[in-house]
Amino acid sequence: MDDLKKAAVKRALERLNAARKELCALREADFGVFQALLGLCESLGLEATWPRVNVSRNTRELTLSINTDTLKSMSITSLLAFCAEYYGGGKSNDYASELYASREFRFGDWESDRVIITFEIASDSATCRRVKVGMEMREVAEYKIFCD
């Protein structure tokens, strides 16, 4: 077998072994807490869209998106309080652009289970809105290739 073929086969075997390890982790994982969290969202009247679970060898991560008009509803504060109590304190980040606004909350850490909840703010919300706070001008370098 030539060297290129050996290298390609080696990389394919490495990917196959990684996939097998991920499959084993999925089979062993307990998703009960995540399922309960989805049930809590439903009971609070929050529609969790695009729930995704990522599993690595040592950790599980649940990612949810929730469409909302406000971030100050009792349902949202109850959900965030539950996550903070169960997974430990959380961090939040705001994302806002000309077309889009959301606030993301992260609970847990890289050593254990974690949850990421993104609240997508409705563009016509009466209580939450994107506000233009300034303009930023950037100078971006442009490159081309010239050969002698």
For each of the chain's 148 residues, which pLDDT tens digit applies? 688 889 999 999 999 988 888 777 766 666 777 888 889 999 999 988 878 888 776 678 889 999 998 888 999 999 999 999 888 878 999 998 888 899 999 998 777 788 999 999 988 888 887 888 889 899 999 998 889 8
Rounded to an integer, what distance in angstroms lies between the CA atom of residue 112 and that of residue 134?
39
| CATH class as words, domain 32-133 | alpha beta
- Parse the chain into domains and list their residue ranges: 1-30, 32-133
HSE value, Cβ hemisphere, 13 Å, CA-based, for 62: 21
Rounded to an integer, what distance in angstroms lies between the CA atom of residue 133 and that of residue 96?
11
Burial of residue 86 (CB within 10 Å: 0-12, 13-18, 19+) is: middle
